[in-house]
């Protein structure tokens, strides 16, 4: 990674904006990689904490939508590579941790990509964090079935501080 004059290098504090309690407005495609344009909307909450002495964080996502489920993201900063890895697990698939996505922030935009399998076929996964210097950050997930030539955004979360934050 080349250093650009005036650019800030990635640090273990990149996700500090996310620590705390959040209300979350979710929009999610009802079918992924199927040409669908039907979205479902639902509410959730998220609580994020620092772990590993500040080299990582975890958040717990809770919703009553679709029968309810609990999810967790784990984020780990690698100081040697100056990049983040992000993992996801949830109560709908107990005992499984999704493959990680890797990336960094540039300004208030973070882009993280990795490989996975969706319905038996290999895909690329991308998370984009934006608005991280505001009180209302945004996360979105996209899948690509063509090695990143095209992307389908399939889940968007808009965060606002919880009343007791």
Alpha-carbon distance values, 107 to 59, 132, 157 (Å): 22, 9, 20
Q: Answer yes or no: is 127 within a domain.
A: yes
Q: Cα–Cα distance between 130 and 112 in angstroms, integer?
A: 12
**6 pLDDT tier (thresholds 50, 70, 90):** low
CATH number for the domain that contains residue 124: 2.40.128.20
**165 pLDDT tier (thresholds 50, 70, 90):** very low
Containing structural domain, residue 107: 16-30+40-159
Q: Which residues, including other chains, have CB under 8 Å from residue 20's CB and lie 6 or more apart?
A: 47, 48, 161, 162, 165
What pLDDT shows up at residue 95? 85
Has residue 60 got a pLDDT over 90? yes
pLDDT in tens, 91-117: 988 888 999 999 999 989 999 999 999
């Amino acid at each position: 990674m080349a250093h650009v004059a005036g650019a800030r290098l990635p640090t273990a504090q990149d996700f500090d904006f996310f620590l705390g309690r959040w209300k979350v407005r979710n929009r999610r495609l009802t079918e992924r990689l199927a040409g669908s344009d039907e979205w479902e909307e639902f509410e959730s909450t998220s609580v994020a904490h620092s772990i590993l002495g500040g080299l990582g964080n975890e958040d717990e996502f809770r919703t009553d939508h679709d029968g309810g489920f609990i999810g967790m993201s784990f984020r780990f900063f690698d100081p040697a590579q100056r990049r983040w890895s992000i993992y996801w697990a949830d109560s709908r698939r107990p005992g499984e941790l999704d493959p990680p996505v890797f990336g960094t922030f540039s300004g208030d935009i973070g882009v993280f990509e990795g490989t996975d399998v969706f319905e038996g076929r290999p895909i690329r996964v991308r998370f984009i964090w934006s608005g991280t210097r505001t009180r209302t950050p945004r996360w979105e997930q996209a899948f690509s079935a063509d090695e990143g030539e095209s992307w389908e955004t399939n889940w968007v979360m808009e965060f606002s501080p919880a009343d007791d934050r």
